[in-house]
């Protein structure tokens, strides 16, 4: 067996990320049984995923082994790329021509690690065994990415060869003595008139605050020497799933805003020539990176696996913005070099993905890729003939995707964060580039599907003072680009209130350039939240009422069959009272962490779950069934019910849940169920507020209210502390257990105001 070379010093033995080439997919690995502790192992996306429901009574939680008979003569280390569960450890055992090699490794923390085992002169690997010993009692998950070989002696020479460039860039940039005019080269990102208005607004903010989101982002970028960051691959922002361990934290792109974008925006807003030239240096360095891909897993010889065109789109967008706003800093050779990379390595890959993957039209991805695609096409039109028909095709394909992803009821199945790809960064910003290229306004080219998303904004709008939206699905904090885009498009909708609320909380200045441009078009306020919002196609319901003059919001989660980026949470609920969240959804976190998978599970949502099962109770996800709550309500009362058996057929014979709130200070949740698999059920209520069990009552204490849950007769209750990603705070899981395999479980929740002081 010859390893697959990926550079002069390293090779891959088993590309576990690739379902076509993975040894696991080809049944070359032996997996020892783990039914007793609920072990599951599967090849999926870019990893070999594993999870277990509980720590085994004895022995390792996972044991994988494979025969190799691999030639390792040119290498001195064996590598395993893996993300281990917290509190676990990895045991690697090799059988070689010189005997056994074995080592234990602890988990790396919040990012995957390449565990290195010296070969000590061995030249042939006969077999490998990977074992993981569980550290904690509960469920855990993680993954393997690949196994490979490395020559640690020759690797430094290869890495050093990637960064042999002169920071003067005499052939690509004008000299430092050049005095820029700060005039946009193409006017696709912003017009000169709009730019001057943005400068005035930004200058006023600086006079009051001394700094701004734009100057702070530029200061972070100024700490990076761009030439030292030129690499064989380009990181996908801070995502560590795809890049090599040695590339974790590479700073050429950074995160949002990317360093080059941060510099060029601050340079234009403050008319700073040094920042403008530094932005151009970042662009030239980015253009000199060998591959606009996340890492070698996208360029393995013989493999067709690719991570779509996310990184290529980022590179195109950064370089397109820089060419427009700092184009005068480049020589013709520097500009033409970037244009060639944009056309061949950027647009070429985006088009390939568009041709190969039809599914991207029905989710966030085509919209995600479209700002880069339409901006670059608009720039290329200024230099080359025959481009315009391709621009028109890209525009029509974006419209097709938007029409497919925004549902007839205005909902969006992937949740509020991924809606940014439609109503913010993706669709709206891409449409603005196209509009400018055609001498039109954004609203001239805005499709009707965007305008039907008013109810979606009202349904997901959070009444929590610290949040903008209810964080359902794979959700994280919402960007000003989305809120401003939707508020400008729908000036009578809740998107306006969401935008103004977020802007007030963040200091009053939009922290993203597109939002800064749209801000003058957005009203100061819009009508209050409607009493009842139902999106029957998406399958969500929201009730809004007043209690002691304070808002009460109840959000119910359903499903559209096949919806992506959703969680195991159909029938879960979120309760907000008096500007605080009492029953919560934690959304998601960095996808490179096992916490992201854990946050998706039913165990992290307010569900009814079977107990006493060998494997972790879970429904199908994605769920290929429509889950549509039936609801009615007004300013005083609210009722809803939903059939939840679909997707749970392995565990439930039937499960029906209803909510009855006869007044804004109480909620009765009733579960009617019969188990097919399990010994009893746990009613779960998730919260970040302090909770305790006192006698026959669970008491949850927020700052403004106290919520009580009555423990039904024959049931027991406990509060479990669950860790959260990258923070010392915890999620509290209230568990009310019923030992009955079937019946009706009714939980009565009431809340009252805390006494002053």
Distance CA 658, CA 386 (A): 60
CA atoms 157, 161, 162, 168: torsion sign: positive
Q: What is the DSSP letter of 431?
A: H
Ranges assigned E (strand) in 23-97: 29-31, 40-44, 47-52, 62-71, 77-83, 89-96
Write down the pLDDT at residue 425: 84
Q: Where are the alpha helices (DSSP H) in 151-228?
A: 155-161, 192-209, 213-222
Residue 496 in 3-state DSSP? helix
Residues of the chain with pLDDT under 50: none
CA dihedral 252, 256, 260, 262 (to 10 degrees): -140
Helix, strand, coil shares of the chain, percent, nearest 5, are: 30, 25, 40
* 71 alpha carbon, distance to own chain's centre: 39
- pLDDT, residue 728, reads 84
Q: pTM of the predicted model, to two decimals?
A: 0.96
Query: Three-state DSSP class for 126?
Result: strand
What does the alpha-carbon distance between residue 239 and residue 339 come to, in Å, rounded to a whole number?
Answer: 27
CA-based max dimension of the chain = 82
> What domains sit in the chain, N to C, each tagged with a CATH number?
4-161 (2.60.120.260), 187-356 (no CATH), 360-530 (no CATH), 532-753 (2.70.98.70)
Measuring CA to CA, how many Å separate 671 from each of 556, 668, 747, 748? 14, 10, 9, 12
CA dihedral angle for residue 142, residue 145, residue 146, residue 149, rounded to 10 degrees: -90
Residue 757: predicted pLDDT: 59
What is the rounded radius of gyration, in angstroms, for the C-alpha atoms of the chain? 27
What is the three-class DSSP state of 501?
helix
The pLDDT of residue 529 is 97
Give the tokens for residue 301.
């010889």
Residue in 548, 346, 514, 491 with CA at minimum distance from that of residue 433? 514
The secondary element (H helix, E strand) that includes residue 686 is strand 680-687
Backbone torsion region of residue 172, taken as left when φ is above 0, otherwise alpha when ψ lies between -120 and 50, otherwise beta:
alpha
Token look-up 């009492």 returns 582
Between CA 23 and CA 210 the distance in angstroms is 57
- The DSSP secondary-structure symbol of 358 reads G
> Which H/E stretch holds residue 401?
helix 388-405
Backbone angles phi, psi at 507, to 5 degrees: 115, -5
3-class SS of residue 95: strand
The contacts of residue 603 (CB under 8 Å, 6+ apart) are 139, 609, 616, 684, 733
What are the DSSP calls for 687-725, one per residue?
A: ESS-EEEETTEEEEE-SSEEEEEEPPTT-EEEEEEEE-T
Query: What is the pLDDT, as a whole number, of residue 479?
Result: 87
Beta-strand ranges (E) seen in 266-339 are none
- Whether 31 and 63 have beta carbons less than 8 Å apart is answered as yes
The answer to whether 37 and 53 are in contact (CB under 8 A) is yes
Using one digit for the tens of pLDDT, what is the confidence trace for 697-717? 999 999 999 999 999 999 999
Task: Spell out the alpha helix ranges (H) of 544-625.
Answer: 594-600
- Three-class secondary structure of residue 323 per DSSP: helix
Residue 748: phi, psi to the nearest 5? -105, 120
- The per-type count for the chain, helices as H runs and strands as E runs, is 19, 29
Buried b (16+ CB within 10 A) or exposed e, 187-220: bbbbeeeebebbeeebeebbeeeeebbbbebbee
d(CA 312, CA 236): 9
633, 639 in Cβ contact below 8 A?
yes
- The secondary structure of residue 478, as a DSSP letter, is P
Over the range 63-73, which residues count as b (16 or more CB within 10 Å of their CB) and which as e?
bbebebebebe
Which DSSP symbol is given to 559?
A: B
The DSSP letter of residue 330 is B
> Residue 213: left (phi > 0), alpha (psi -120 to 50), or beta?
alpha
């Amino acid at each position: 067996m010859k390893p697959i070379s990926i550079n002069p010093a390293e090779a891959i033995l088993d590309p576990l990320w690739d379902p076509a080439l993975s040894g696991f997919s080809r049944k070359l690995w032996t997996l020892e049984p783990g039914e007793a502790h609920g072990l599951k192992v599967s090849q999926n996306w870019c990893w070999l995923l594993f999870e277990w429901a509980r720590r085994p009574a004895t022995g390792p939680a996972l044991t994988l082994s494979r025969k190799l008979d691999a030639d390792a003569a040119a290498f001195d280390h064996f590598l395993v790329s893996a993300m281990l569960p917290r509190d676990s450890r990895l045991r690697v055992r090799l059988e070689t021509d010189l005997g056994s090699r074995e080592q234990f490794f602890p988990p790396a923390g919040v990012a995957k690690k390449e565990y290195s085992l010296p070969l000590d002169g061995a030249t042939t690997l006969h077999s490998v065994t990977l074992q993981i010993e569980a550290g904690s009692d509960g469920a855990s998950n993680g993954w393997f990415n690949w196994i490979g070989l490395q020559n640690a002696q020759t690797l430094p020479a290869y890495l050093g060869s990637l960064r042999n460039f002169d920071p003067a860039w005499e052939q690509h940039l004008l000299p430092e003595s050049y005095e820029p005019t700060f005039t946009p080269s193409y006017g696709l990102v912003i017009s000169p008139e709009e730019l001057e208005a943005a400068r005035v607004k930004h200058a006023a903010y600086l006079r009051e605050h001394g700094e701004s989101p734009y100057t702070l982002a530029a200061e972070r970028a100024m700490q990076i020497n761009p030439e030292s960051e030129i690499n064989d691959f380009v990181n996908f922002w801070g995502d560590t799933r795809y890049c090599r361990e040695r590339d974790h934290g590479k700073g050429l792109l950074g995160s949002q805003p990317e360093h080059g974008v941060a510099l060029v925006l601050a340079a234009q807003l403050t008319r700073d020539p040094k920042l403008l030239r530094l932005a151009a240096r970042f662009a030239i360095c980015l253009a000199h990176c060998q591959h606009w891909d996340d890492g070698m897993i996208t360029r393995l010889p013989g493999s067709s696996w690719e991570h779509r065109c996310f990184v290529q789109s980022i590179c195109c967008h950064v370089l397109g913005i820089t060419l427009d706003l700092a184009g005068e800093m480049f020589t013709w050779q520097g500009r033409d070099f970037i244009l060639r990379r944009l056309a061949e390595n950027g647009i070429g890959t985006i088009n390939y993905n568009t041709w190969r993957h039809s599914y991207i039209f029905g989710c966030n991805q085509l919209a995600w890729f479209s700002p880069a695609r339409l901006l670059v096409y608009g720039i290329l039109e200024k230099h080359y003939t025959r481009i315009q028909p391709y621009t028109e095709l890209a525009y029509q394909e974006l419209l097709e995707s938007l029409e497919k992803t925004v549902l007839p009821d205005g909902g969006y199945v992937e949740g509020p964060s991924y809606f940014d790809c439609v109503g913010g960064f993706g669709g709206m910003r891409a449409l603005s580039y196209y509009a400018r290229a055609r001498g039109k306004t954004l609203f001239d080219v805005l499709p009707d599907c965007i305008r039907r998303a008013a109810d979606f904004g009202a349904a997901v709008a959070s009444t929590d003072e610290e949040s903008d939206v209810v964080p359902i699905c794979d959700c994280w904090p919402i960007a000003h680009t989305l809120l401003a885009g939707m508020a400008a498009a729908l000036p009578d909708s809740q998107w306006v209130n969401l935008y103004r609320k977020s802007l007030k909380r963040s200091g009053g200045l939009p922290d993203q350039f597109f939002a800064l441009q749209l801000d003058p078009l957005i009203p100061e306020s819009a009508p209050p939240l409607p009493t009842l919002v139902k999106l029957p196609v998406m399958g969500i319901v929201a009730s809004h009422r007043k209690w002691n003059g304070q808002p009460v919001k109840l959000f119910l989660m359903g499903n559209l069959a096949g919806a992506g980026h959703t969680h195991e949470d159909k029938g879960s609920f979120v309760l907000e009272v008096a500007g605080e969240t009492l029953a919560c959804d934690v959304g998601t976190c960095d996808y490179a962490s096992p916490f992201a998978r854990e946050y998706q599970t039913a165990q992290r949502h307010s569900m009814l779950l079977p107990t006493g099962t060998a494997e972790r109770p879970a429904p199908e996800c994605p769920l290929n069934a429509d889950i549509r709550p039936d609801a009615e309500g007004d300013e005083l009362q609210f009722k809803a019910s939903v059939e939840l058996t679909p997707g749970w057929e392995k565990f439930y014979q039937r499960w029906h849940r209803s909510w009855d709130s006869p007044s804004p200070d109480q909620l009765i949740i009733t579960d009617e169920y019969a188990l097919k698999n399990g010994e009893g059920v746990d009613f779960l209520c998730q919260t970040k507020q302090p909770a305790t069990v006192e006698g026959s009552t669970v008491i949850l204490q927020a700052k403004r209210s106290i919520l009580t849950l009555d423990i039904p007769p024959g049931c027991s209750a406990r509060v479990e502390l669950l860790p959260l990603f990258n923070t010392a705070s915890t999620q509290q899981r209230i568990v009310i257990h019923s030992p009955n395999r079937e019946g009706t479980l009714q939980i009565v929740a009431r809340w009252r105001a805390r006494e002053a002081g």
